[in-house]
Chains A and B, each alone.
Chain A
Amino acid sequence: MAGDRAASIDPDALSWYEATARQRVTALVDPGSFREFLGPTERRMSPHLPLFDLPRAFDDGIVIGRADIAGTPVLLAAQEGRFMGGAFGEVHGGKLVGLLRAALDLKPRAVLILFDTGGVRLQEANAGETAIAEAMRAIVDVRAAGIPVVGLIGGRAGCYGGGGLIAGTCSRLAVSEGGRISVSGPEVIETNKGAEEFDSRDRALVWRTMGGKHRRLTGGADAFCADTVAAFRQAAVALIDRAPAFDLAGLEAEQARLAARIARFGDCRDATEVWARLGVNDPATVPGMDTAAFEAIVARVGEADHDAR
């Protein structure tokens, strides 16, 4: 049965959704090229969690380091959604911010962020919120230095809260069907606005509102991948090469695009209405489509591809 375990790091077979952060990193980059910074042996753990009698992780739930992808040097960070929902704490956030700042000196071809997070860790909220702000600031600096920052989203925890904000500052995003991108999570919306507004137990509703297909169709993400590490690798390589410039014209175009979007879709009550207005003939069938059929739809929808970001 040893062969099965070997198969579990085969990029073609390994499900991104199922994989751990370390499995994703190992299978994503060129074999043997990953060098970790502040790895688990250094035990940089959360100073706050013991106060709450909570277990800590030796890497505080994030793996950072350098590697080659298709022969090109990159820096990358991967959040571990299985540890505290991939949430940002002081050390976790510090590692991401440090990696981004190091990019200014190391000048990699790109920085990859493998998001898998519910947002900020409640037990160390101030440090987490600060880290979100610092990470966004650092991404701006990195992008201004001409280094693309590419987010990969397809983990179990999705990309929520501050993670959703950071994703918004990236040059490009790749997402899978299981991936979700948003700020407030389904339960938070339901708690504040009621189940009539958003029923968090209706998982089909959650995914068609926040899931990968919706984000891709509306241009919130720039690539849609099958749920394998190989597909994410292919998307990452392609997106690095297609990263937009980071300048005032780009930001103004993005602002205009978002304003147009709210004007066009602001009164829609369901994602299927948005898709219908985008020109999708039979919106109800979108969630059931396989990757190839969905790509064909995306190719026909003008909204999905733009450099305004």
Chain B
Amino acid sequence: MTEWRGERQARDARIAAGRIHAAGKIVPATAAVDLLEAILRPGDRVCLEGDNQKQADCLARALSACDPEKIHDLHMVQSGIVLPEHLDVFETGIARRLDYSYSGPQGARIARMLYGGQIELGAVHTYLELFARYFVDLTPNVALIAGVSADRDGNLYTGPNTEDTPTVVEATAFKNGVVVAQVNEIVETVPRVDIPGDRIDFVVKADRPFYVEPLFTRDPAAMTETQILIAMMAIKGIYAEYGIRRLNHGIGFGTAAIELLLPTYGEKLGLKGKIATHWALNPHPTLIPAIESGWVKQVHCFGSEVGMDRYIRERPDIFFTGADGSLRSNRAFCQTAGLYACDMFIGATLQIDLMGHSSTITQSRVAGFGGAPNMGSDPHGRRHPTDAWMKAGREGQIVGDPALMRGRKLVVQLVETFGDKLVPTFVETLDALELARKIGLELAPVMIYADDVTHIVTEEGIANLLLCRDADEREQAIRGVAGYTEVGRGRDRAKVEALRARGVIRRPEDLGIEPLDADRALLAAKSIKDLVHWSGGLYEPPARFRNW
């Protein structure tokens, strides 16, 4: 006789074991280790919530404090490897196998542990890809998540940083898994119900509020004139040219400079209302001046940003907010929005090769992907036309019946020819290849593949790769904007000039931009303090960004 309810019975047994440590659903932080030891089984697939923003840090500490005799060989399926505890569990044997997406701050240690064989790696994913696998072949047995508050029934308020929580809970709770939430406080009534209580099995009252990294704050005081020049070129040569209204920005200084130039340089070019109106974007503080001057119609967010909560509350026409007034973010939906409903992704990278492949991997660090490869790719499932998408499609495809042509998403790399410490951005071979060989990865960790990239913008000019007709043209177009790097100096001058004559490469002067005009005076805000003023005092920057 086939047993159809084995998973359900196993779940009931775990919950019964956990209840010993709980009063109803509520568990004190001091009993978190006991709770986890009661509900986990060796070899479980576990999702420990955490991404590039919020962290279920109390539960991460509890998991790493479990007895490896009892809890071992876990298969971690989680967005972020960010906290030291995320890797500690692999050193103690509590966990063995890993499927993840992002590992920014732990990039160096994870590389060493992969190399040393302490981690059995499944794959490094994009966020959306990993979320998808939660519903197919990486469904968690136990999810450990983070929220702001919960009531005694487990109704959960995630606050502005909802992020991955609904996705993780959906996959776990509806497939016989156990969901444990850490919260900052237990309340009588939550401000709004982000996750209904019947999907939450246990609520741990955390010893301190969950950690959130202010990853999307860029200090205007650190912006250079080179970055401003690149931003001017992008606005005039790409945003205006293609009429980009729906877009996503990366987190670098270049795109932050664009945000700060919209109300000044963009205004002067008469572009208000014509570009940059609808966004899939975290609430970047540098977007405040553009919002306040009426450029921005709507922003949907992956997560929140430290210090932006009050500002967002007072701008519900712009942001998605709940009945309680605070931001509702959702990483899975925002990633989907960025993939299918944006006409452009523009962001920075660390290395670009001669074909246009790019990577943020250096030889000793595996930073993971996060969302960029998903944002920075052309979705072949897209079917709705926009002018920007169609124009890019026409540039890229010159043969065949126009009615059978598909459009193209613009994927723009915005880089300085030399990065931090004068390391060249343009290289013959990506470090990612060497790293993949060293630690035995089947796929080299490429952030954005060459065939997805449409433009590269540097201080030397814009290379429009859509207009390149063969591999040689493409290589020369890249060399032609690579400045004084080895790659740039290796250019064929005649071919580069020919590409320039065709408009494949455009210099600042070809765009009518005088490099000496790239002055910090153009920035709508020159400091974090200016951003506070623009926000009418609503933006509350964290201490590390203040100089007052």
Contacts and interface: CB of A to CB of B under 8 A. Distances in A.
A204 B517 contact: no
B537 A288 contact: yes
Contacts of A288: 532, 537, 548
A1 B514 contact: yes
A8 B544 contact: no
A2 to B, nearest CB: 8
Between B516, B532, B543, B548, the greatest number of chain A beta carbons within 10 A of the residue's beta carbon is seen for B548
Contacts of B136: none
Contact of B547 (A2, A5, A211): A211
Contacts of B519: 4-5, 8
Interface in B507-548: 514, 516-517, 519-522, 526-527, 529, 532, 537, 543-548
Contacts of B548: 177-178, 204, 207-208, 211, 213, 287-288
B526 A18 contact: yes
B528 to A, nearest CB: 9
Interface in A180-235: 201-208, 211, 213
Contacts of A15: 526
Contacts of A213: 548
Interface in B364-402: none
A207 B541 CA distance: 14
Nearest to B523: A18
A204 B516 CA distance: 34
Contacts of B532: 288
A288 B535 CA distance: 13
Nearest to B219: A203
A7 interface: yes
Contacts of A177: 529, 548
A241 B521 CA distance: 33
B546 A5 contact: no
Contacts of B516: 5
A279 B527 CA distance: 30
A13 B520 CA distance: 12
Interface in A1-49: 1-2, 4-5, 7-8, 13, 15, 17-18
Contacts of B517: 1-2, 4-5
A203 B544 CA distance: 5
Nearest to A7: B521
A92 B507 CA distance: 40
Contacts of A205: 543
A178 B527 CA distance: 10
A4 B521 contact: yes
Contacts of A7: 521
Given A1-B517, A5-B517, A288-B548, A204 B526 contact: no
B546 A203 contact: yes
B521 A8 contact: yes
Interface residues of A, number: 24
Contacts of A208: 548
Interface string A249-266: 000000000000000000
A211 B546 CA distance: 11
Contacts of A1: 514, 517
Interface in A35-83: none
B546 A207 contact: yes
B547 A207 contact: yes
A64 to B, nearest CB: 26
A162 to B, nearest CB: 23
Given A4-B522, A8-B521, A178 B547 contact: yes
A7 B519 CA distance: 11
Contacts of A2: 517
Contacts of B529: 177
A97 to B, nearest CB: 31
A203 B522 contact: no
B520 A18 contact: yes
Contacts of A203: 543-547
Between A4, A5, A206, A287, the greatest number of chain B beta carbons within 10 A of the residue's beta carbon is seen for A4
A208 B520 CA distance: 26
B514 A206 contact: no
Contacts of B522: 4
B360 to A, nearest CB: 24
Contacts of B545: 203
Nearest to A287: B548
A37 to B, nearest CB: 28
A184 to B, nearest CB: 18
Contact of B543 (A8, A13, A204, A211): A204
Given A4-B519, A5-B517, A8-B521, A202 B547 contact: no
Nearest to B232: A1
A13 B522 CA distance: 12
A159 to B, nearest CB: 15
Contacts of B514: 1
Nearest to B533: A290
A298 B520 CA distance: 32
Contacts of B546: 203-204, 207, 287
Interface string A167-181: 000000000011000
Contacts of A201: 544
Given A1-B514, A177-B548, A288-B537, A202 B543 contact: yes
A143 B533 CA distance: 41
Contacts of B526: 15, 18
A8 B532 CA distance: 23
Contacts of B527: 17, 178
Between B522, B532, B547, the greatest number of chain A beta carbons within 10 A of the residue's beta carbon is seen for B547
A8 B519 CA distance: 9
Contacts of A4: 517, 519, 521-522
Between B514, B520, B544, the greatest number of chain A beta carbons within 10 A of the residue's beta carbon is seen for B544
A201 B546 CA distance: 10
A32 to B, nearest CB: 22
Nearest to A177: B548
A52 B221 CA distance: 29
Nearest to A13: B521
A13 B523 CA distance: 13
A204 B307 CA distance: 14
B54 to A, nearest CB: 21
A87 B517 CA distance: 29
B57 to A, nearest CB: 20
A203 to B, nearest CB: 5
Contacts of A17: 527
A8 B228 CA distance: 16
B32 to A, nearest CB: 28
A167 B544 CA distance: 27
Given A1-B517, A287-B546, 4 more contacts: A4-B519, A207-B547, A207-B548, A211-B548
10 contacts: A4-B517, A4-B521, A4-B522, A15-B526, A177-B548, A178-B527, A207-B546, A208-B548, A211-B547, A211-B548
Closest 9 interchain pairs by CB? Answer: A204-B543, A1-B517, A204-B546, A287-B548, A8-B521, A202-B543, A203-B546, A207-B547, A207-B548
